[in-house]
Every structure is written in structure tokens, then in C-alpha cells.
Amino acid sequence: MGRGSTAYRYVVLMAKPYWKWGQICRALSSSVPPIHKEDKVKRVGIKKILIANRGEIACRVMRTAQKLGVQTVAVYSDADRHAKHVHDADEAVHIGPAPASASYLNASAIVTAALETQAQAIHPGYGFLSESSQFAELCKQKGIIFMGPPSAAIQAMGDKSVAKTMMSAAGVPVVPGYHGEDQSVLLLQAEANRIGYPVLIKATQGGGGKGMRIVHSESEFSESLASAQRESQAAFGDSRVLIEKYVSQPRHIEVQIFGDKHGNVVHLNERDCSVQRRHQKIIEEAPAPHITSEFRQRIGQAAVNAAKAVGYESAGTVEFIVDTLSGDFYFMEMNTRLQVEHPVTEMVTGQDLVEWQIRVASGEVLPLQQDQIKLSGHSFEARIYAENVPKGFLPAAGLLHHYHPPAISSTVRVESGVGKGDAVSVFYDPMIAKLVVWGQDRSAALIKLHDCLTKFQISGLPTNIGFLKTLANHHAFAAGDVDTHFIERFKPDLLPVPLVKQDDAVPQETRVGAALAAAAISTTSSRSKEMGSKGFIWNSELGFRLNHEYSRILHFDWKPEAGDVPLVPLALRVTHGKLGDYTVEGHKLEKICITGKQVESDSHEYRLHVNNKSTSLSLVQFHQGGVSHVDLWEGERHHQFTVPMPQFDTSDELSGEHRSSGGQHERNQVQTPGAVIAPMAGRVVKLFADNGIKVKKGDAILVLEAMKMEHVVKAPVEGWVRGCKIEVGQQVSDNTILCHIEVGILEMN
Ligand code: ADP
Ligand code: ADP
Ligand code: MG
């Protein structure tokens, strides 16, 4: 049975008691998560905080501060002058240019801003300086409260070997392995043999999966070691490694812990973050599916012990790797800060963790003791990223021409630092928003997650919403059958199917989508003034003639979701009826009769009657890079079209599908075969090529870094590098032409 019967047994064994526990929880819970009950607010000692971060987390921290009557100070870079977090704060201080190294990582500028605005405390958020022990120390020296643990705890947990040694000593299970000082090759090899293959080599200073190598056999060891050491030296300036047993089918389960200045530490249950891509989480949930309350209690206690061993204070997360074959769990690392996915814990415990952080930083004891912490219902978080899923989840950047999240309620939270018209910049994390839902149990929460993803509309840049929707709908995910290889294991089900370059490959639902878009556009085209002064190309093209039948052909280029496939041209004939009705017909599309209209004159929502069936849809039109775009959401589907320049075609032929297609932007790129194009938004960290040098096809031209990953950009053809104006440290957008490889000409000289 496919993926190992032992694992399956484990799941079944664990499932039963969990469901009993689930029933108890359901019986205790009300229909709304307790966090949204309006609590009476008790005064807090700290009166003003500076938030040393940006985006959604800065906005989220400010929301709680404002609830508690605490003044807020934002900091911002040049790129964020008009950002939401700046707008939401009581005060804001400019701290430097766009690159994070000069602004959000500029410790002295941030501390100076805090002193000047008389903020008593600094909340570091996550990322940036949140896990810098030097920054925590600097705050302390300047008399500012750092809202996190003492610098010694950050330092101890920042070194994987030191952390593992301390955790073993505290009785916390660690992955069997070697994490000693002696780094001689012979000893490391002997240790690997002792542990037994497969083993994992990890950089002791590592993070983001860098300096990590799986070794399957003794013969591969020395080569993998050398490459892990090289990578680690380059990334962290330190080549030390540790070796541990490679767990072949793991789940990532982490525990939220909290400490105060009085030596109290509690845990607020666990989260499952097994579903990852590029070693990064995309969907998290609480509680973890299929675990027993006994397991929860044991892993929670281990996390509390881990925190106590380092004198922990404030919010922290202890990450464990769970071997699904044996059911054993091991300490993996501790994140000494508030975690991106903390909202799922808030939803099931009814607590506000930022409020806890502010209270603890003010010197209060923890708001609750261990036996007062409840667990109610189930919560999911989906991270919505600007990213290119078919290209291997590479980060993207761009403008949010349309941003319409689902309505928030007591069971739906949308955490975001952006809105319509904002940019997702190449300088920072491409996360656009976090969608957090709560339900009475896992299946209710999952239904809500899927529903909210369906209603989450974004256009202007590629996002992972479609992928998340498929994931939320997947039978194995619904069964809670998760491990860290989940996405890899179900790739064929989860990724959009690449299109065969054939005319009949256009799905029927896309043809119907185009027909609906054509009809919706027709209902607005007689009222072009509502589309703004520029109007949309069709809107100014033809007027509506009352009591006359006339027809015209609308052309769309369909943008299939899957990868770098050419646009597919579609042509539709729209006939305006005498009574304000439309018929739409096209190649391989039966005649559709449509009536209906925009819900309100300035809205993007439409109510149409299609062949006498009523349907709601949303339509957005915008211009970008000289190309006109049409995005349509209808039911669960999101169709994306571009519009070729108008062709005043009055013939009866609907053979337009066979003309060449492509907006200007797409076409430019296709025409330059030697162009070296950035496949993702990121920072240039290494440059191998210089103008005039000769490269072979596949040679590395440069290395781009974004979001803890490096991507090597290679020469598409053999030739000479030309027109390279890129410098190390420069940020580039995806699809930027980095340089050209000139073929041939010089060869003859
Ligand atoms: P979590 O487990 O909470 O996702 P991570 O360690 O994966 O924690 O990272 C937390 C956040 O910190 C990320 O989502 C990102 O915003 C930020 N971050 C961490 N490292 C980087 C980096 N190298 N570049 C950009 N952002 C980063
Ligand atoms: P980083 O600091 O780079 O995040 P971690 O130690 O947290 O490094 O590991 C990152 C990921 O690698 C984990 O989420 C897990 O998927 C995988 N991993 C780590 N240790 C092991 C192990 N011993 N066996 C199998 N997979 C592991
Ligand atoms: Mg980790």
C-alpha cells in the first residue's frame, strides 16, 4: 500500500483518541472562537512601543497596542513611505533606503528612532532583527525593553549544536547524532557510520535549509561534507557542521510557549506546519491532526522544559520533528520570537499573544496558568504569496491592481500590510496576506478555508491562491495525512497541468469564462465613463445602439496557469439583442444567451443570467506594461485573459483563434532568445559573468537570492555576455532582462 503501511497504522492508531478529544472540545466550544469576545482591557505598564518591522506583522502588533491604549511608532524605508504600517501608526520614523540591510536591519537607526520618540520598548516582529542577540543587547544597553527573550537565550538557540547540547542536558529528546566541537573529517565520517545512513549534515549556524545535505551512503559522505562546509562558510562565515539521523517521513509539529520575568513558562498547544515548499511553510494548523491528548501533553512539556533550560521570556516556538513511523518526536530548533503562524494558536486558545508579549514586557506575570489554557475548535492559516507556482514557487513582485480579500468575521481573519494599488516590492518578503480561519472542528475549518480562498481575489501579479485552493481541497489533506513531503508526494494533483500546445486543449470552462467576460464587458461598454477617463479598449470602441441588433468580435488571449506556455487566442462573437440581452458564440462554444448587469455602477461584481441560470461573477480590467488584462472570478474559478490590440473585424469568421497571440510584454520576451531573464524577484548575491566573456550553455551567470533561497541563473545559449549592467547587491524584479548572450558574430573574428 503505496506509502508504507507502518505510517498508515500510526495514523489510524493515533486517530481514535484524538477524535474523542475533538468531541470533548466541540462540546465545550461555542460557535465563535473566544478571541473575538470583547474583553475588558486592563491597563498595561508600557505606554509607547516602536515596531521594528513592516508589513502585516507591524500592522498586527499595532492593532493590539491600540486596543491596550499603547502608543505606536512605526519605522520605514524609502520603499515603504506610503505603506499601511506607516499609516496605521501614531508616529513614524524614516530609517533609511529600501534595502533591508540599510533600513530594517539597521540596528542603530532603529534604536535612535526609539530614543527620539521616547518609545519604552521595541517589538521586533519576525524576520529582520527579531533573532539578533546583539540587537537585544543594544536595546538593553540603551535602556529600551526588547520584547523578546534575553540575548543569552537568543544566542544559545541560534547555534544548532549548542542548542542540541543544552536540550539533551535538559532531558528534551534530540535527533540522534553528533554535535560536538571536533570537526575532523575522520571523526565526522566515523560518527555518520555510527548513526547509520541516511544521515543529515547541517550547518551549526544554519537557517533556511542552507548548508544542509542528505547523505544516503558512506561513499557519498566526504563529498557531501565538503560541499555543506563550503556552503555554510559562504552563507554564515562558519563551516562547522553537525550530523544527525535523517528522519525519512517526518511531520513538523511545533509548540507555542510563553515565559514571563518571574520564571513561569507555559505552552499554548501545538501547530502542525508539515506542508512546506522549499523548506518553508505555506499552510499551518492548530491543533495538529491525529495526535492524542497524551502526545500533546508530552510534547508540550518537552517544549516548556526546553524554554526553561535557557531562561526564556516572551513568546517562542519550539520546533519538533516527529517520526511518523515510530511516533517519536525530537527537538529541531527554537525560534526565539513571535512566529508567522501564531494566529492559529490565538484562534484555538482565545488568547492575544501580542497582548501577552506587551504585558510580560511590562513585568506582569503570565495572564494564564497552564491548566487555564483551553483548546477550542480548529484553525488553519494559509500564507498568500506573490509567487510563481509553476516555476517551482519562485518569488514574484509587482503591483496589486486588484485586492479583494474575503469579508472578515469572528471566524475569519485576514492579516495583511497591503491594499489595492500597493506594490509587493523586490526588497522584502513576497507574502501578501495571511488568511486565518476557525471552525468547530477540522472539517468545518477546512470548508471555510477553501471558501475564503475562493473569495480571495488578487490581480496584477502571480499568486499561490489557486495552488492553496487545490491543496485545501485535496483528499489526503482533508484526511490530515500530512508530512513534510506532502507537496512533493502529490505534485501531479496539486500543480496546474501543463497545456499541450493544441487548439482543443482550451478547457470548456475557459471558453465559458471568456464568454461571461465578453458579456460582462458588453454590459459596461455602453457606460465607458464609469471605467475612468482612459476607459478600456472596448469600452470606447463601440456605442450601444438601442433597439438594434449588432454584433462584434471580442478577442482574448488566455493565460493558462501552467508555466511558460504561450498565450492561447480566443475569439467570441457578441450579439447585442434588442432587449439588452446578449448572445455569445465562439469556436467550439455553443451559443449562450446572457442577460444581467453590474451589481452597482462602480463595482466589479455582476449578476448575469446565463441560459436562464443565474450566476454571480467578478470582473476586473486593468492595464499593465502596455497590455490590457481581464480577470474574471466565477464560482471556484479564476480566469485570466489579456486583450490583444483591437481588431476591427466585421467578418463572420470566428477563426481568430489561429492568429498569432501575445501582449506586447510577452512578445518582447519571446523575440530575444539570447536574453538572460530573472526567473524571480531577488537580490544579486554573486555575479560570475562580465561583458565580453564567453560562456557555454548552462554556465552560471549570476546567483539571485530571495526569501532564504538562492537561484542560479544560467546561460540559455553559448556565446558572449553583452549589455550586463547588473551589480552584486542589486535588487531585480522577475522577468527583468539581466544581460544578453550574443551568439556567433565574434566567432568569425
Ligand atoms: P516561520 O517558521 O515563522 O515561518 P521563518 O524562519 O521561516 O519562520 O521566517 C520567518 C519570517 O522571517 C519569514 O516569513 C520572512 O518574513 C522572514 N525572513 C526570514 N529570513 C528571511 C530572509 N533571508 N529574507 C527575507 N525574509 C526572511
Ligand atoms: P533551518 O534552520 O534551516 O530551518 P531546521 O533544522 O529547522 O533548519 O530544518 C529545516 C527542515 O529540514 C525541517 O522543517 C524539516 O523539514 C527538515 N529536517 C530537519 N532535520 C531533519 C532530520 N533530522 N530528518 C529529516 N528532515 C529534517
Ligand atoms: Mg526551522
If you take atom 13 of ligand 1, which residue's CA is the nearest one?
Answer: 127
With b meaning 16 or more CB within 10 Å and e meaning fewer, what string describes 573-604?
Answer: bbbbbeeeebbbebbebeebebbbebeeeeeb
Cβ partners under 8 Å of residue 425, min gap 6: 79, 98, 397
Q: How far apart are CA 390 and CA 313, in angstroms?
A: 42
Other Cβ atoms closer than 10 A to 222: 15
Cell numbers placing 632? 474574471
Residues 6 or more apart in contact with residue 748 via CB below 8 angstroms = none
In this predicted structure, the answer to whether residue 36 has a pLDDT above a threshold of 70 is no
**Active-site residue 573, yes or no?**
no
Q: Could you tell me if residue 250 is left (phi over 0), alpha (psi between -120 and 50 degrees) or otherwise beta?
A: beta
Angle between helices 185-195 and 221-236 (to 10 degrees): 120
Check residue 670 and give its pLDDT.
39
Query: CB of 417 within 8 A of CB of 59?
Result: yes
Q: What is the mean pLDDT of residues 233-259?
A: 95
Residue 522 pLDDT: 84
Helices and strands of the chain, counted as H and E runs: 19, 41
Q: Does the C-beta of 279 come closer than 6 Å to ligand 2? A: yes
The region, left, alpha or beta by phi > 0 then psi within -120 to 50, assigned to residue 81 is alpha
7, three cell numbers: 505510517
- Residue of 296, 337, 383, 683 marked active site: 337
Rounded to whole angstroms, the Cα distance separating 424 from 55 reads: 10
Distances (CA, A) of 283 to 417, 449, 622: 19, 10, 30
Ligand 1 binding site (Cβ under 6 Å of any ligand atom): 126-127, 280-281, 335, 339-340, 429, 707-708
Say if ligand 2 is within 6 A of residue 206 CB: yes
Ligand nearest to the CA of 708: 1
Ligand 1 atom 17: the closest Cα is on which residue? 127
With cell 563550503, the residue in question is 230
SS3 readout for 19-82: HHHHHHHHHHCCCCCHHHCCCCCCCCCCCEEEECCCHHHHHHHHHHHHHCCCEEEEEEEHHHCC
Ligand closest in space to the Cα of 328? 2
The 10s digit of each residue's pLDDT in 160-208 is: 999 999 999 999 999 999 999 999 999 999 999 999 999 999 999 988 7
Q: Verify whether ligand 2 is closer than 6 Å to residue 203 (CB atom).
A: no
- pLDDT band at residue 725, thresholds of 50, 70 and 90? confident
CB contact set of 327 (below 8 Å; sequence gap of 6+): 10, 14, 295
Strands (DSSP E) along 466-521, which ranges? none
CA 724 to each of CA 44, 372, 464: distance values in angstroms, whole numbers, following the listed order: 56, 62, 31
Collapsed DSSP state (helix, strand, coil) of residue 589? strand
Which ligand has the minimum distance to the alpha carbon of residue 279?
2
- Top mutation candidate among 101, 274, 429, 710 for ligand 1, by most atoms within 8 Å of CB: 429
Q: Whose CA is nearest to atom 15 of ligand 1?
A: 127
Going from the Cα of 304 to the center of ligand 2, the distance in angstroms, rounded, reads 21
Q: Identity (one letter) of the amino acid at 298?
A: R
- pLDDT tens-digit series, residues 644-683: 865 444 444 454 444 444 333 333 333 467 888 888 888 8
Separation CA 36–CA 554 (nearest Å): 48
Residue 609 and residue 295: Cα distance in Å, rounded? 54
Calpha distance 313→266 (Å, rounded): 10
Q: Does residue 746 register a pLDDT over 80?
A: no
pLDDT-based confidence at 81, cuts 50/70/90?
very high
- DSSP element (H, E) containing 472: helix 465-472
Strand-strand pairing, 378-385 and 402-404: unpaired
CB 72 within 8 A of CB 65: yes
Residues 6+ apart with CB under 8 A from 297: none
pLDDT digits (tens, 9 = 90+) for 99-128: 999 999 999 999 999 999 999 999 999 999
Q: What is the pLDDT of residue 641?
A: 94
Total-model pTM? 0.86
pLDDT of residue 708: 63
**Pairing state between β 280-281 and 276-277:** antiparallel
The H or E element containing residue 339 is none
Question: Does 252 contact ligand 2 (Cβ within 6 A)?
Answer: yes
What local confidence, expressed as pLDDT, does residue 156 receive? 94
- Ligand 2, closest atom to CA 332? 6
